[in-house]
Amino acid sequence: MVQHTELRACDQGDAPRRGQVVQSDAARFWSKVSRSEGCWEWRAYRDRDGYGRFGTGSRLLKTRFVHYAHVYAYRAEVGPVPAGKLVRHLCNRPWCVRPDHLAVGTQLENMADMVAAGRSTRGTRNAQAKLNDAKVLAIRERLRAGHGTARLAAMYGVSESAIHQIRKGVIWRHLLPADEAAND
């Protein structure tokens, strides 16, 4: 566990100047957290996905390392993250650094959390999507009516592979009727 009041060692960062008080990395970290009864919000830099980032070390000494804020909080308060594991947010808020809202898990568990919370980029939420829900439903209807995959791919400006994946429910699965989705 990291003590919140210790001073950062000179070899882990910039050498302190005469009369300068140097905070430890842990003290600097926790000063950027807004604690409440619920989630503890990371109030410093967040990446485009909303995850807090926190730098330690020194650029000058080339010991700089940027951590995910939630991983730093977990390591500081709970302990090391086992090899092959990652730190998941049980609250589904990427900016939260409250240790009891964090848990170690696998990438598969993390992805399941994301889907369950509705944060996945499926369908039209994916910025790369060429189709929308109505077009996919129309493609499925045309496939049932006997239209060929090559013709549908040309009509909708997608690959034949995409049409095959729509047919099999590999992509746009969330639009499958409940009875079809249950049979897979």
Predicted confidence band at 2 (pLDDT cuts at 50, 70, 90)?
very low
CB-based burial label for 58 (10 Å; 0-12, 13-18, 19+): middle
Q: What is the pLDDT of residue 122?
A: 67
- What is the b/e burial string over 80-90, where b = at least 16 CB atoms within 10 angstroms of the residue's CB? eeeeeebbbbe
| Residue 97 amino acid letter | V
| Residue 46 amino acid letter | R
Domains defined for the chain, CATH in brackets: 10-116 (3.90.75), 123-183 (no CATH)
Tens of pLDDT along 97-121?
Answer: 999 999 999 999 998 888 787 776 6
Backbone angles phi, psi at 15, to 5 degrees: -65, 135
Size of the chain, expressed as the number of residues it contains: 184
Alpha carbon distance 20, 39 (integer Å): 33
The distance in angstroms from the start CA to the end CA of the chain is 47
pTM recorded for the entire structure: 0.62
The DSSP call for residue 171 is: S
Tens of pLDDT along 14-55?
Answer: 454 544 445 689 999 999 999 999 999 999 999 998 999 999
Quick one: how far is CA 92 from the chain centroid?
A: 9
The DSSP call for residue 94 is: T
Decide: 24 and 33 in contact? Cβ < 8 Å.
no
